[in-house]
Chains A and B, each alone.
Chain A
Amino acid sequence: MTEELLTSGRMNPNIDPYLNIWHWHIPVYLFLGGLAAGILFFAAYYTITGKEKQMPTTVKWATFIVPAALIIGLIALFLDLKHQMYFWRLYTTVRLESPMSWGAWTLMLITPLSIIWVATYMKEVVPGWQWKWKFLDTAETWIIKNKKGLAWALIVLAVILGIYTGILLSAFNARPLWNVSILGPLFLVSGLSTGAAVIIWMTKNHHERKIMSRIDILLIIIELFLVTHMIMGFLAGSEVKIATAQLFLGGQFTVSFWVFFVILGLVFPLVLETLELRGFKIPVAVPAILILFGGLVFRFIIVEAGQFTRYLY
């Protein structure tokens, strides 16, 4: 048995007795960022493939959530900073080695572009909407003409944003739970799934709902596979990784992870969506809310549990 004591009484706030420097802001932002990336990905994809008419909610209505989600996420990120008046320092440099720098610049690009995307649909969504100035009309016409270019830019940025929410964590070698390369794809797939859930929930078009339900079922199956793979990877890893797996296999996060995320957030909606496609009458909001709830819980668990894991020396 080895016991380690810090006898000098190191009690640095938020560091001891266990690390808890990141609170609710980060998981909330990771959730909203993933959701925004998911919706934008599908909107851009169906615009590029020329299916705007068949997928009106995906391309149009759902995207109105994106700027709101991104702005709320950015506010959460700002609130998390402890030296807030210096936040502009993010934009005086580009640091390719730092995932957070990548994220800051991606958000700087994707937020205004998503607002422009939504603005081109204002006239269709709000009857009688008129731009106040003439140049906005000219700009709108030009953007609508180049919609596919904008969609290409957004689809690339959406994938970067979706993956980055995972890489932000997986780049931290010091936290064994986060330091797995599968976290990037897992967060991307989870973000796409929450985006699809919102579209399924919002759409009134039967054909669109069917397509998005099929996509979502596939995404949930991939997610279940990645989660299993992640836990197997931990169990096959070094001592710190095995200790990490124990957090979910009998440790303090066992119930929240398996019950709230895996069963309620993945398996349940998977079954409900499959039954719905088979013709059973199921309120569409139920699987959608479960997926969104599961996605949020998943990010809270990963951020919180990751800070419990550390090197042993």
Chain B
Amino acid sequence: MRYAMAIDTNKCVGCADCVVACQTENNVPVGYARDWIAEIVAGTYPNVELEIRSERCNHCDNPPCVRACPTGASHVVEGGIVKVTPEECIGCGACIQSCPYDARFSHPDGYVDKCTFCDHRVKKGQDPACVAVCPTKCMYFGDLDDPSSDVSEAMKNRKYKALAPEAGTDPHIFYLM
């Protein structure tokens, strides 16, 4: 089993509903965010192109944060989800430095916090909060090993990319183009 997410950049309008849903679902402290919207403008007027992406932890197959962690608080759970155990985290910041996506932050309580792919929802067979609320239905979640899952279906016959694959992290958030 390998959980992954595919996000259709052609459908995303950048409304940030996923950001708010995550903050509500996961009780993210005010002023912090586990996911965010990036708008990339490329080219020079009048030849300009816009890409909108909902970004978060890439739940990498080769997660540098897990390698950097001196206590084992950062770890990989079933399905390739990268998580942090607050009671083992000393707040040294090594994982934050190691993440090419800057997807982690220091929770006001001291430990390091990040996207969990809403594994508490996934366990119950639900989609992560961000996927569930998306008004344009541009996000797909599921098991990459299962060819009939939402994410596998979405990636069929589409061109897609991952972010900073040259970092060698083998990220598992895919952007459909």
Contact = CB atoms under 8 A, between A and B. Distances in A.
Nearest to B64: A173
A98 B167 contact: no
Interface in B28-62: 31-33, 35-44
A172 interface: yes
A13 B105 contact: yes
Interface in B88-147: 88-94, 96-100, 102, 104-106, 109-111
A22 interface: yes
B33 A4 contact: no
Interface residues of A, number: 49
A7 B43 CA distance: 19
A98 B70 contact: yes
Q: What is the predominant secondary structure among interface residues of chain A facing chain B? A: loop
Given A21-B106, A81-B92, A174-B64, A7 B97 contact: no
Contacts of B31: 11-13
B33 A313 contact: no
Nearest to B99: A174
B78 interface: no
A101 B106 contact: no
Given A7-B16, A22-B97, A307-B97, A12 B105 contact: yes
A228 interface: no
Nearest to A89: B71
A101 B163 contact: no
Contacts of B42: 1-3
Interface-centre pick from B40, B43, B94 (highest chain A CB count, 10 A):
B94
Contacts of B73: 89
Interface-centre pick from B14, B71, B99, B168 (highest chain A CB count, 10 A):
B71
A82 B72 contact: no
B23 to A, nearest CB: 10
A19 interface: yes
- Which 7 pairs from chain A and chain B are nearest by CB? A82-B91, A83-B91, A83-B110, A10-B36, A100-B70, A8-B37, A12-B105
30 contacts: A1-B42, A4-B38, A4-B39, A5-B39, A8-B14, A9-B36, A12-B105, A13-B31, A15-B105, A80-B92, A81-B90, A82-B106, A83-B109, A83-B110, A83-B111, A86-B71, A86-B87, A86-B89, A86-B111, A89-B71, A92-B71, A95-B70, A95-B72, A98-B94, A172-B98, A173-B168, A173-B169, A174-B99, A175-B97, A311-B164
Interface of B: 14, 16, 19, 31-33, 35-44, 64, 67-73, 86-94, 96-100, 102, 104-106, 109-111, 163-164, 166-169
Interface of A: 1-16, 19, 21-22, 80-84, 86-87, 89-90, 92-93, 95, 97-101, 103-104, 171-175, 238, 307, 310-313
